[in-house]
């Protein structure tokens, strides 16, 4: 129980920082909707930003972190600090060279990248030119943010989660500040957002340096590279690059399909996905980040029972959070988008079109969260190949569904395709993980699933009833709308938590033990 409490405390601490980041991210997206709307400038910025962001996930945050943290954790357990820091410095400086090359190539090849990833923009040369210009301006972001991700991985290995989780707040604040102050300084207001991306990436890198120095790392280049450690990282990272690459290719394909639909489709999917990520990131992503070092240590110790227990606890907590969030987003999709984004150049029609995509993205919330935990378990076992194989299978499913659904359902079909693919991915990983970690989907997980379905179902019925009495969209004034929507959400959450307490839910008892005084 103490270990479970420690895990949840760490995830809770990181969730608070992640929540701050998501709140700042909402204000960023709200400002983007107000200034850019869901028109050409917004579509161009979304695609231009997606390219370096995609490479960041491909090269650093997804692939490198999942390979680096388990390997670095083994160095920590050996107790040889000189070897440990030599390995970390070797990775940091090797990546510095690689990222510099990628950045230069990206700037030079930007026209080819944009035309390949947004072929639907070809009907508007001005839109293509704006996207290329924004992309070139933002490409150095991958250099800053990828080095920042390595530093975050080092701190995570020392069970330091709050600071790395806080750094995205700085990115969002930088984008907000630059977008607002520079909106009238350029030929297109989207340039202010691009400058903010660069400034935010640099801030995320710089702010983590003092924490690394306090833990004993020197930023001087190592006298000699740890070639053995780099080879180990290379062996682990290559399959993961393909795995993350499949995910990123899925996003690219979604964007390509969306660019061929009506103007604004890229933005509708972007705003809807951002709301889903807000919910997913606050707890689910935090939990998978926190659990990786813990699982890595348990795996290194050969403690199979500990691994199974950690996975069971993680899945129960995911059900506890994700099921009510899914149903809440579906029921309240229109008032949520209306309150969050409908102002400035973001119209009522944009609200309904974005809300439709949100409902279909929400269906995949639990599978998305589960995949993060399941893949993390494989990485802790230093198995980066299995998630890749599963991802390759679901890639073709995703592609076929996009072709089948974009015609009758437009951009909403793309969102539904993403969720169905995530469900298939999670189901296959669950089946394969049982052979590796044991029966982690045990009776406790089944009991948690039933409890959450019962309580969340009652909550949804109450929200539907409440929404019939409180028409958020018809209210006048932003404050009244926010209070009405907040009241519905608070009421629904109270009903859900109350029913979970009545059902004697284990996760409720866990949370109460953490929030209460330590004994």
DSSP assignment string, 48-99: HHHHHHHHHIIIIITHHHHHHHHHHHHHHHHT-HHHHHHHHHHHHHHHHHHH
**Tokens 């993350």, residue located:** 244
pTM (2 decimals)?
Answer: 0.72
Q: Average of pLDDT values for 180-207?
A: 93
- Say which range, 49-58, 60-69, 135-144, 335-344, has the weakest mean pLDDT: 60-69
Residue 121 per-residue DSSP state = G
pLDDT exceeds 80 at position 243: no
- Which of the four pLDDT bands, split at 50, 70 and 90, describes residue 492? very high
What pLDDT does 453 receive? Answer: 93
CA 512/CA 505 separation, integer angstroms? 11
CA 157/CA 69 separation, integer angstroms? 6
> What spatial distance separates the first Cα and last Cα of the chain, rounded to whole Å?
12
pLDDT exceeds 60 at position 33: yes
**Tokens 């009758």, residue located:** 408
Q: For the chain, state the CA radius of gyration.
A: 23
What pLDDT does 416 receive? Answer: 94
What pLDDT does 400 receive? Answer: 93
Q: CA 403, 336, 265 angle in degrees (round to 5)?
A: 30
What pLDDT does 59 receive? Answer: 64
Q: Which of 166-180, 305-319, 382-396, 429-443 ranks highest by mean pLDDT?
A: 166-180
Q: Average of pLDDT values for 256-266?
A: 83
- Which of the four pLDDT bands, split at 50, 70 and 90, describes residue 332? very high
What pLDDT digit, counting tens, does each position of 36-76 carry? 887 788 888 988 998 888 777 766 556 677 777 778 877 88
pLDDT exceeds 50 at position 88: yes
What pLDDT does 210 receive? Answer: 93
CA 150/CA 418 separation, integer angstroms? 29
Three-class HEC string of 234-275: HHHHHHHHHHHHHHHHHHHHHHHHHHCCCCCHHHHHHHHHHH
pLDDT exceeds 90 at position 341: no
Q: Average of pLDDT values for 16-45?
A: 83
For all residues of the chain together, what is the average pLDDT? 83
CA 64/CA 238 separation, integer angstroms? 9
- Which of the four pLDDT bands, split at 50, 70 and 90, describes residue 219? confident
What pLDDT does 306 receive? Answer: 78
Between 514 and 405, residue with greater pLDDT: 405
Q: Average of pLDDT values for 410-436?
A: 88
pLDDT exceeds 60 at position 165: yes
Q: Which residues contact 101 (CB under 8 A, 6 or more apart)?
A: none
DSSP string, 328-363: HHHHTHHHHHHHHH-STT--HHHHHHHHHHHHHHHH
What pLDDT does 515 receive? Answer: 44
- Of all residues in the chain, the percent with pLDDT exceeding 90 is 28
Asked if residue 305 lies in contact with residue 451, where contact means CB atoms within 8 angstroms, the answer is no
Between 447 and 66, residue with greater pLDDT: 447
What pLDDT does 195 receive? Answer: 96
Q: H-type helices in 118-189, by residue range?
A: 125-138, 141-157, 162-181
CA 501 to chain centre: 30
Q: Average of pLDDT values for 438-452?
A: 78
What pLDDT does 437 receive? Answer: 62
Query: Angle of helix 81-108 relative to helix 141-157, nearest 10 degrees?
Result: 160
Q: Average of pLDDT values for 158-173?
A: 86
What pLDDT does 198 receive? Answer: 95
Number of folded domains that form the chain:
1
Q: Average of pLDDT values for 427-444?
A: 76
What pLDDT does 516 receive? Answer: 44
pLDDT exceeds 80 at position 257: yes
What pLDDT does 109 receive? Answer: 94
- Say which range, 154-158, 313-317, 434-438, 464-468, has the weakest mean pLDDT: 434-438
Range of the domain at 176: 2-515
- Which of the four pLDDT bands, split at 50, 70 and 90, describes residue 12? low
pLDDT exceeds 60 at position 285: yes
- Which of the four pLDDT bands, split at 50, 70 and 90, describes residue 514? very low
């Amino acid at each position: 129980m103490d270990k479970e409490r420690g895990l949840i405390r760490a995830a809770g601490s990181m969730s608070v920082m992640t929540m701050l980041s998501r709140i700042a991210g909402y204000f960023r997206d709200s400002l983007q909707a107000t200034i850019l709307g869901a028109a050409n400038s917004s579509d161009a910025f979304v695609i231009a930003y997606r390219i370096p962001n995609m490479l960041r996930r491909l090269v650093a945050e997804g692939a490198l972190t999942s390979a680096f943290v388990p390997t670095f954790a083994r160095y920590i357990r050996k107790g040889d600090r000189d070897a440990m820091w030599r390995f970390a410095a070797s990775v940091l400086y090797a990546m510095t060279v690689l990222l510099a090359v990628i950045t230069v190539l990206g700037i030079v090849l930007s026209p080819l990248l944009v035309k390949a990833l947004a072929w639907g923009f070809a009907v508007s040369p001005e839109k293509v030119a704006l996207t290329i210009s924004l992309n070139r301006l933002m490409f150095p972001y991958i250099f800053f943010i990828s080095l920042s991700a390595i530093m975050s991985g080092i701190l995570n290995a020392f069970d330091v989660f709050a600071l790395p989780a806080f750094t995205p707040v700085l990115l969002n604040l930088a984008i907000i500040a630059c977008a607002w102050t520079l909106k009238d300084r350029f030929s297109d207001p989207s340039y202010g957002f691009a400058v903010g991306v660069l400034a935010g990436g640099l801030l995320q890198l710089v702010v983590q340096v003092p924490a690394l120095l306090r833990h004993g790392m020197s930023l001087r280049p190592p006298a000699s590279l740890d070639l053995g450690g780099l080879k180990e990282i290379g062996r682990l990272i290559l399959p993961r690059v393909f795995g993350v690459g499949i995910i990123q290719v899925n996003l690219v394909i979604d964007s390509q399909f969306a660019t061929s639909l009506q103007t604004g489709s890229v933005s509708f999917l972007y705003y809807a996905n951002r709301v889903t990520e807000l919910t997913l990131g606050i707890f689910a992503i935090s939990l998978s980040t926190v659990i990786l070092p813990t699982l890595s240590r348990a795996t290194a110790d050969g403690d199979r029972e500990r691994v199974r227990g950690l996975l069971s606890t993680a899945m129960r907590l995911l059900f506890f959070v994700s099921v009510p969030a899914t149903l809440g987003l579906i029921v309240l999709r229109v008032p949520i988008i209306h309150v969050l984004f409908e102002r400035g150049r973001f119209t009522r029609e944009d609200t309904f079109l974005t809300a439709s995509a949100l409902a279909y993205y929400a269906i995949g919330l639990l599978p998305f969260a589960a995949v993060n935990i399941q893949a993390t378990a494989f990485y802790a076992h230093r198995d980066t190949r299995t998630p890749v194989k599963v991802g390759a299978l679901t890639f073709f499913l995703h592609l076929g569904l996009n072709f089948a659904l974009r015609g009758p359902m437009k951009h909403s079909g793309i969102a539904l395709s993403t969720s169905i693919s995530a469900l298939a991915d999670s189901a296959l990983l669950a089946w394969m993980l049982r052979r590796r970690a044991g029966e982690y989907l045990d009776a406790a997980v089944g009991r948690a699933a039933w409890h959450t379905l019962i309580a969340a179902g009652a909550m949804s019925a109450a929200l539907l009833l409440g929404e019939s009495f409180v028409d958020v969209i018809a209210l006048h004034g932003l404050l009244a709308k926010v209070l009405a929507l907040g009241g519905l959400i608070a009421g629904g959450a109270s009903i859900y938590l109350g029913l979970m307490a009545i059902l004697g839910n284990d996760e409720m008892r866990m949370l109460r033990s953490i929030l209460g005084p330590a004994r």
